[in-house]
Amino acid sequence: MITVNKQLISQAAVDCWYTRWDELRFQIHEAHATRNGQAAQWMLQGIAHFIEFLIEVSGVESYDIQASYEILPLNGKERLLFVQANPAQYASYRQLDELYKETKKRCARLRM
């Protein structure tokens, strides 16, 4: 299991990461609501942002799909694979949103 560097998941760092997701989430939601065809592009940015956070706090050079990450919530790897495979689907947006929320909570638990 790839462990998290607890110094990198301070509340300020996680809040900054999550604030960026809030901005992307708004764009994705609007794209789905208006059906303008841009949801996938915003989702790809959200997925990349999520993976960049995993890499940074885990102290690895790249994301390894086979590895197990301490920071990921339950079934996180499988859920992330689903989101990556279907970025234009609304279900993927909801799943990515839940991954962000659960990862934020997991960071709080791991800080203790």
Report CA 108 to chain centroid distance, whole Å.
Answer: 15
Token couple for 47: 């997925």
Q: Is residue 51 part of a domain?
A: yes
pLDDT in tens, 66-90: 999 999 999 999 999 999 999 999 9
pLDDT in tens, 12-37: 999 999 999 999 999 999 999 999 99
Q: Is residue 56 part of a domain?
A: yes
pTM for the complete prediction? 0.94
Question: What is the radius of gyration, based on Cα positions, of the chain?
Answer: 14
Q: Is residue 31 part of a domain?
A: yes
Q: Of all helices (H) and strands (E), which one includes residue 91?
A: helix 90-111
Q: How many domains are contained in the chain?
A: 1
C-alpha to C-alpha distances, 20 to 13, 27, 35, 47, 68, nearest whole angstrom: 11, 11, 22, 12, 25
Say yes or no to pLDDT of 112 above 90.
no
Asked if residue 65 lies in contact with residue 105, where contact means CB atoms within 8 angstroms, the answer is no
Range of the domain at 88: 6-111
